[in-house]
Amino acid sequence: MRCCETLKDLIPENPMIVRLLCTALLGLMFLAVLRAQGAAGLKKAAFGKTKDGQPVDLYTLTNASGMEVAITNYGGTVVSVKVPDRNGRFADVVLGFDNFDGYLNNTPFFGVIVGRYGNRIAKARFTLDGQEYHLAANDNGNTLHGGLKGFDKRVWKARDVSTKEIPAVELTYLSKDGEEGFPGNLLATVTYSLTPKNELKIDYAATTDKPTVLNLTNHSYFNLAGQGEGDALSHLVMINADGFTPVDSSLIPTSESKGVGGTPFDFRKPTRIGDRIDADDPQIKFGRGYDHNFVLNRKDGGLVLAARVTEPSSGRVLEVLTTQPGLQFYTGNFLDGSVHGKSGKAYPRRAAFCMETQHFPDSPNHPGFPTTVLRPGEHFHSTTVFRFSTVK
């Protein structure tokens, strides 16, 4: 090859050195070709330690298109999601922190697995099979996102379960009987997979040895313009739901389902988040914006398109598919700029949105809602897909 001939000219009296240098150079060129073609894979690196000394790792999944997702086994947290815009420029589209200390010292639930029960349980209690269970009251007298130390603050056991084309990491956590007041030893497994189609697929599974309640979800905050790039109010949102569950002043559902027609909650056609987020509507005022569960349109328990979000300036599109019956649409109303994330960027109010696929909030206290009860011998499983693409 011409590069080797050049080396011979430069070092004519050292043929062995020339051969060694040629071999090394050809190896580097081969790696460059592989990288250009896009090799899918998973990399593991140390991320930090908890306050009691438990090691925490970061798992970076990359697909053949160059999309990259980083996940830590602390809380099963999605740390970053890097996807291209319409011009092929990559940006990280989820809020979070550059290092592990940020996740230890802040509590906005950036990117975490929420459990044992995502969203709220009224008055921090529920009754199951005639027995009342009392939980931690960590949200105005209610239980929010599993209590004081939910699944988001636990170190999960991680295992590489990648295939040739699909990098994947499996996270497992045993929540012991009585943890945060919930009954039963619950074995939870969450698997993150990155497909060749730029899809982050999340599979949830669980079993229990006592009757319990369960509502697992992911709490990633998205800004498709790029994390820290202003607010999310210009994003166009479509939610595949004819109804939503109204709430009281403490954001607990009132047991009814209300049609979205003629309300600020009608996203059946693409609508800017900012168009009606400050509408003179009691529900909007209770949530300080959108913080509500939408009743998804579905005919069976399979994957259904729950939402589609488009960011006009970048052309990035996020589609959310799920097997779950509900979708909590939250617009970062409680962010206030005091939290500084990646690259020191401040996260002001409404800097992002969440699409939390789920069962309904406070379901254990609402017999008419889809059940969240899991019993011994049963196997819970649900799937959510975050699919990324672009438009011109």
Instruction: Give the catalytic positions in this structure.
Output: 219, 356
What does R_g of the chain's alpha carbons equal in angstroms?
A: 23
Cβ atoms of residues 216 and 188 within 8 Å: yes
Residue ranges in 143-262 assigned as alpha helix (H): none
User: To 5 degrees, how large is the angle CA 101–CA 102–CA 106?
Assistant: 115
285 contacts: CB under 8 Å, gap ≥ 6? none
Pair of tokens at residue 328: 């909590």
Residue 229: φ, ψ to 5°: -100, 65
Beta strands 68-72 and 77-84, pairing class: antiparallel
| Edge-to-edge strand list for the sheet holding 68-72 | 41-49, 55-62, 68-72, 77-84, 90-92
**Do the beta carbons of residue 278 and residue 287 sit within 8 Å?**
no
Residue 117, amino acid: Y
